[in-house]
Structure 1
Amino acid sequence: MSSTLQSPIPAPVDRTTDSKIFWRLIPIILVSLVVNQLDKVNVAFAKLEMAPDIGLSSAAYGLGAGIFFIGYCLFEVPSNMLLHRLGARMWITRIMVTWGILSACTMFVTGPMSFYVVRFLLGVAEAGFAPGIMLYVSQWFPARTRGRVIATFMTALPISGVIGSPLSAWLMTASPDFLPIKGWQWMFLCEGLPAVFLGFLFWTMVPDRIDDARWLTSQEKAALKAEVGDTDQHRSGSFARGLSDGRVWMLCLIYFLFVAALYGVSFWLPTLIKTLGFSDLRQIGFLTALPYAAAVVTMLALAWNSDRTGERRGHLAAAGLLGGVSLALSVVWHADPWWSFGALIVAMAGIVTTIPLFWNLPTAFLKGATAATGFALITSIGNLSGFVAPYMMGAVSEATGATAMGMYTLACAAFAGVVFTLLVPARLVERVGGRR
């Protein structure tokens, strides 16, 4: 065929275009994820005062904290299928508005049953948010920058701890005199409503597709579609394949294990710090922020090096190993509060870092409708551990009067995640020769 009949090859995406896309999309995604994570785990702080107020035992708290993930899991796949059909702009706006309203409504719980109901409905409302964001990002950022981009907006996990821990503690001690509510109720109200505002902001700022981005030139759009895959490719594929692919189920197991370690510690971190002998609420808030601050640095450093080398599995395994070993040491050194707390800092840095590093694996080979259901399945199965781990910690704590056995179990989950990570074929997820 004559070369004159061939379509011209678009110029590669340059750094200016990379930067333009990053600054247009990632700030709103990052802030939304910070608020999302804060509304998901602020119940850990509320527990310190809410539990005695409404009669929650440790086991009842663990069940309520974890039942969020049952609602999340049940509606994750259908939610992401709707996002794929309707577009990220509409569906993520819906998710954010409804979760913000329900998070604020947690202030009205009066006992274990109402606590369970609100937490379950909050999980239903949030279902599809995290995998929806991951699907959206995979359609805008090529593999050569995706690791750093994912790590950047997933710093929302530790940032929410850095900001949210002292903020939650302060709000719980600063409820206004003009409202007949307690500190933990004021905290839920103040931290829930920003999600509603951000939902409408997302609607105004985020385009559904590359072709809808008025701030890109036609040449930039063509180059970007050529590198990340044409929009039609992202809308093709099979929903069923994402549910039947054995590789996806392997990733589900890995994600389940790392998320178990993450949420098992996150939902109990203020309580763990309190058991070390720290009793002042604001001091606990400050100390709880430190492990998350360490996680921000660790996430960005490992993600940058992973993109630089093109190596994925080893970086993820290293983060999981660091987290597991440090979790075990935090128990071994429990007699010395500062050594134990130092181990918790390192443990959280490693465990939190596994989450963005993990997402380099499925985004390397899942596309289109297959990605929509694959990402949702991974998140929903993984988040079942968000139910199992907090409940297990609560039940063990109530049965033994200590959290040691629960912490050892979480460490074993991290170690198992490392083993299964190294069983993933390198050719599936890694780029030979590093950065291209």
Structure 2
Amino acid sequence: MSESDASAARVEATYHKVTWRLMSFIFICWVLNYLDRVNVSFAQLHLKQDLGLSDAAYGLGVSLFFIGYICLEVPSTLWLKKIGARLTISRIMVLWGGISTAMAFMTTPTQFYVARILLGAAEAGFWPGIILYLTFWYPGARRARITSRFLLAIAAAGIIGGPLSGWILHNFVDVLGYRNWQWLFFLEGLPALVMGVVAFFYLVDRPQDARWLDDEQKRIILDALAADRAEKKPSKHGRHQLLVALKDPRVYILAAGWGTVPLCGTILNYWTPTIIRQAGVADVFHIGLLSALPYIIGALGMFAVARSSDVTLERRWHFFGCTAIGGLGGLLLPMVSGNSLLSIVCLGMISISYFGAAAIIWSIPPAYLSDETAAAGIGLISSLGQVGAFCGPIALGWTKTLTGSLSLGLSGIATLVFLGGVAVLLGVPANTLREHLQKS
């Protein structure tokens, strides 16, 4: 083995160790996060009747999650940079796990609305915080792939959560005097609380603090990050991170692009069980099993797109391609609503857009934002982009209540998703993305 081959092997071994040690744990945390965020889509099959919720009221409740989420996204991300990921992630998980578990005891629509707002406030900063955390460990040339592994947790939550939620709803009917949806919230919320406590003792904030890395491994990581920083112009406004981010027009372009990704998530995460049931599947356990299929399709598509993007260091066209596939799936979905197989295919196309576009777009901000402004920029993009996540469920729930169908809302979302891809493709010049190519 030549010296260069030996050096490359040491680099790969180092990142493999980091990924196994950190990403495996974060992966589990994110699975729990999405289980607790979207299990309401299964609970609503019974919850709406018990609490007296219409489709419009359910859509409002889903959207209220994003009020607290949007308001606290930037402060939480900035706070992570100040106090570290270990304390931040632990605090977020303990709070959201406790609130999700408490949702088992809701008895009125008002309590449902309040619980969703509090859940969003508790989770605020988790997603952008993890994205920022990854920049402390991985250089740009590895980020789309590592982000895709992180996003795979969402797919895993869908793959696991669908059958699991269906099984709980099917087997915990009136057990110990509680409704099946109450057991759903309790059994899927408690693990997050436990993992939040574990995170405090398990996570490490920076490579130089990791006792499980030797000096050479630390140097490999820090040198790669330094090479990335050398490609970017340093900020002259380190004390005004948020102000610098607010003045950068690319932040708003990326926020517009990111805002279309949660729109795909609105369809996938909150309406998949309803869409499958309307396609002719009645048994709740079978609905849970079938709801896993779009997530599998999305996960496979995401891996292919993320690897291609990292190998070529091309982001903009990859993002646009994902949104085009998702937009087409959303437009076709109402036309095949009576066919369960074709409905799942269309949901799979939306899933590719959801996961693939998310993996790509979050590799863009660190490529041009300085280290000083990265935290504020990432938090701002994530926060502004959640406007789509807030409006989407309301629009779908309202149009379904008004028209008796999701068709109009799905078509509108599909159009916006496509336009989001166009915004990033045309609004972010390729020469602004400066990444250091690594041998992989």
Q: Does 1:127 align with 2:129?
A: no
1:288 to 282, 285, 291: 291
Q: Would the aligned equivalents of 2:295 and 2:348 in 1 still touch at CA under 8 Å?
A: yes
Change beyond 3 A, Cα 1:275–1:245: same
Q: Would the aligned equivalents of 1:242 and 1:372 in 2 still touch at CA under 8 Å?
A: no
Runs of 4 or more above 4 Å deviation: 230-237, 430-436
Query: In the aligned structure 2, how far is the partner of 1:68 from the partner of 1:197?
Result: 22
Q: Deviations over 1:218-248 (max 9, x none)?
A: 2322232122139999996642222332111
Change beyond 3 A, Cα 1:61–1:329: same
Q: Deviations over 1:294-327 (max 9, x none)?
A: 1111111111111111111111111111111111
Offset at residue 28 of structure 1 (A): 0.6
Q: Would the aligned equivalents of 2:294 and 2:347 in 1 still touch at CA under 8 Å?
A: yes
Q: Secondary structure at the match of 2:291?
A: helix
**Pairing of 1:7-406 with structure 2 (within 5 A):** 14-175=11-172, 179-229=176-226, 238-240=240-242, 241-406=244-409
Report the TM-score when normalising by structure 1.
0.93
Change beyond 3 A, Cα 1:366–1:237: farther
Query: In the aligned structure 2, how far is the partner of 1:337 from the partner of 1:84?
Result: 46
Query: In the aligned structure 2, how far is the partner of 1:178 from the partner of 1:338?
Result: 34
Bigger CA drift: 358-367 or 394-403?
Answer: 358-367
Q: Would the aligned equivalents of 1:242 and 1:369 in 2 still touch at CA under 8 Å?
A: no
Change beyond 3 A, Cα 1:89–1:230: farther
Counterpart amino acid of residue 412 in structure 1: T
Query: In the aligned structure 1, how far is the partner of 2:434 from the partner of 2:204?
Result: 30
How many percent identity over aligned positions? 38
Report the TM-score when normalising by structure 2.
0.92
Aligned to 1:3: none
Q: Would the aligned equivalents of 2:276 and 2:343 in 1 still touch at CA under 8 Å?
A: no
Q: Secondary structure at the match of 1:140?
A: coil
Counterpart amino acid of residue 187 in structure 2: C
Offset at residue 162 of structure 1 (A): 0.4
Query: In the aligned structure 1, how far is the partner of 2:83 from the partner of 2:227?
Result: 18
Unaligned runs of 5+ residues in structure 1 are 1-10
Query: In the aligned structure 2, how far is the partner of 1:407 from the partner of 1:430?
Result: 36
How many aligned residue pairs are there?
426
Unaligned runs of 5+ residues in structure 2 are 1-6
Query: In the aligned structure 1, how far is the partner of 2:80 from the partner of 2:66?
Result: 19
Q: Would the aligned equivalents of 2:172 and 2:180 in 1 still touch at CA under 8 Å?
A: yes
Q: Deviations over 1:49-82 (max 9, x none)?
A: 0000110111110000010011100111111121
Counterpart amino acid of residue 385 in structure 1: G
Offset at residue 431 of structure 1 (A): 4.8
Root mean square deviation of aligned Cα: 2.3
Change beyond 3 A, Cα 1:177–1:337: closer
